[in-house]
Amino acid sequence: MAEAREPVTTLDTPIRLEYLFSAGIAQSKNLRGLAEGRFVGQRCPVCSKVYVPSRGSCPVDGVPTDEEVALGNTGTVTTFCVVNVPFAGQSIEIPYIVAQVLLDGADISFMGLIQEIPADQVRMGLRVEAVWVEPDQLGPSMASVKHFRPTGEPDAEYASYKDYT
């Protein structure tokens, strides 16, 4: 007689894979720039848009973005969110602000932490500047940018960043 058994309903099959990451030629230039405390973008030869970081091509025109463009430290908050949710490993006191920052001269925004301003005062159009980590802490990653803080300039006109929201 067959022995009555509990059916197997779940099993664990641990999977771990390790990878090299190849940033590519264009993004490597951006990463090396970050290690020197500066933003490096690339311009599309067809539409003249400046990407930071560039993945090597203009996603609109599909051509190499070979022209390097040195970008400054300042930019504009195009949109943002307030983080109120605590989670494991959180290193920043809540509430805090994660924003999309459009660097001056760039045509694409990227994500940045906004500090040195109360969370409820952050707004679209806020002018900000990058605060870099100490020189001996700089490395080829966005961790080189400690955060962005207000420059104190008047807010940017909506028209100046409406295409990037």
Cβ atoms of 78 and 100 within 8 Å: the answer is yes
Per-residue contact string for residues 98-117; x = within reach of another protein by CB under 8 A: --------------------
Instruction: State which H helix or E strand residue 30 sits in.
Output: helix 25-35
Cα separation of 92 and 113, whole Å? 10
Considering beta carbons, is residue 27 or 109 the nearer one to another protein? 27
3-class DSSP state of 41: strand
Considering beta carbons, is residue 63 or 70 the nearer one to another protein? 63
Q: Is 151 in the site for another protein (CB under 8 A)?
A: no
Q: Is 29 in the site for another protein (CB under 8 A)?
A: no
- Identified binder of another protein from the candidate list 32, 35, 48, 63, rule CB under 8 A: 63
Q: Which residues pair with 69 in a beta bridge?
A: 41
Peptide bond into 95 cis (omega under 30): yes
The nearest distance, CB 76 to another protein, in angstroms, is 24
Q: Is 10 in the site for another protein (CB under 8 A)?
A: no
Considering beta carbons, is residue 60 or 94 the nearer one to another protein? 60
Residue 47's Cβ-side half-sphere holds a number of Cα atoms within 13 Å equal to: 13
Binding-site size for another protein (CB under 8 A) equals 25
